[in-house]
Amino acid sequence: MESLFGDEPCRPTVALPPGAHHVPGFLTLEQQRWLVDRFHAWGRGPVPPRYPRVGGHPMSVQSVCLGWHWTPGRLTREAIDQNGERVPPVPDWMVRLGQRALLAADGYEELASAYQPDCALVNYYDDDARMGMHQDKDERSPAPVVSISIGNSCRFRFGNTETRNKPWVDLELRSGDLFVFGGPSRMAFHGVTKVIPGTAPAGCGLTTGRVNITLRVTGLA
Ligand code: SIN
Ligand code: MN
């Protein structure tokens, strides 16, 4: 007899430093598909996806920005490294999604209703893409970062606030998962060491690669 509970066993959780939270299965497949459709729409302009250049080299991840355009060390309203167009604003539904994310992450419930992310970085990883250990430090606000993953799973490395080296925790972020880091972990180094091909669930909207959306409060005017 078909069961309503799916066939996925419970996933083991790993101990994370204070302020960091992993919420597996935050989004339904339908929500994931809807977000992938939005991702394709953002890619059609006004500012198309690009491989940001860091230290003169293109990253392996393609990126589109909402609210503020990210280049290393700088957040601007216009795509200064591309066509100079203003990036679209963060939509209201995405602000509410950020608020729901904080409600779902232990310890952030009280911040949820005041959370007003004004920047979203939407990254596409093909199956060979990676992201090196870095801090999200171009924002002035200490508000938490909300991260949502869709498509193939990845190995996510979450480290410490002092160095890009150990100690760190490796965990798998799967399609529909939420990860929040704020408070004492807001400035923790983190990165993506591997995308795991063939792991996107049917119906998530992607058959290859991975989309990650991070929501941030810049504290900029
Ligand atoms: C990021 O650090 O900006 C993205 C992290 C991820 O792709 O999970
Ligand atoms: Mn980051």
What's the pLDDT tens digit per position in 20-37? Answer: 999 999 999 999 999 999
* Ligand 1 binding pocket includes 158 (Cβ within 6 Å): no
pLDDT of residue 165: 97
Residue 81 domain flag: yes
Residue 7 domain flag: no
Is it the case that residue 6 has pLDDT exceeding 80? no
Q: Is the peptide bond before 144 cis (omega within 30 degrees of 0)?
A: no
Residue 84 domain flag: yes
pLDDT of residue 99: 98
Atom 8 of ligand 1, nearest CA residue: 212
Residue 6 domain flag: no
- Whole-angstrom Cα distance, residue 31 to residue 14? 26
Ligand 2: distance of its center to the CA of 126 in Å? 17
Residue 196 domain flag: yes
Element (H, E) at 34: helix 29-43
Residue 4 domain flag: no
What percentage of residues in the chain have a pLDDT greater than 70?
A: 96
In this prediction, residues 104-130 reach a mean pLDDT of: 97
Q: What domain range is 133 assigned to?
A: 15-50+57-216
Query: Which residues have CB under 8 Å from 47's CB, separation 6+?
Result: 64, 65, 69, 79, 82, 83, 85, 87
State if pTM tops 0.85.
Answer: yes
Residue 5 domain flag: no
- Whole-angstrom Cα distance, residue 151 to residue 161? 28
Please identify which residue in the block is written with the tokens 């491989």: 51
Q: If DSSP codes are grouped into helix, strand and coil, which group holds residue 43? A: helix
Residue 182's domain is classified under what CATH number?
Answer: 2.60.120.590
* Ligand 1 binding pocket includes 153 (Cβ within 6 Å): no
Q: Which ligand is nearest to the CA of 157?
A: 1
Neighbours of 93 (CB within 10 A): 10
- Total domains in the chain come to 1
Q: How confident is the model at residue 3 (pLDDT cuts 50, 70, 90)?
A: confident
Residue 25 in tokens: 């299965």
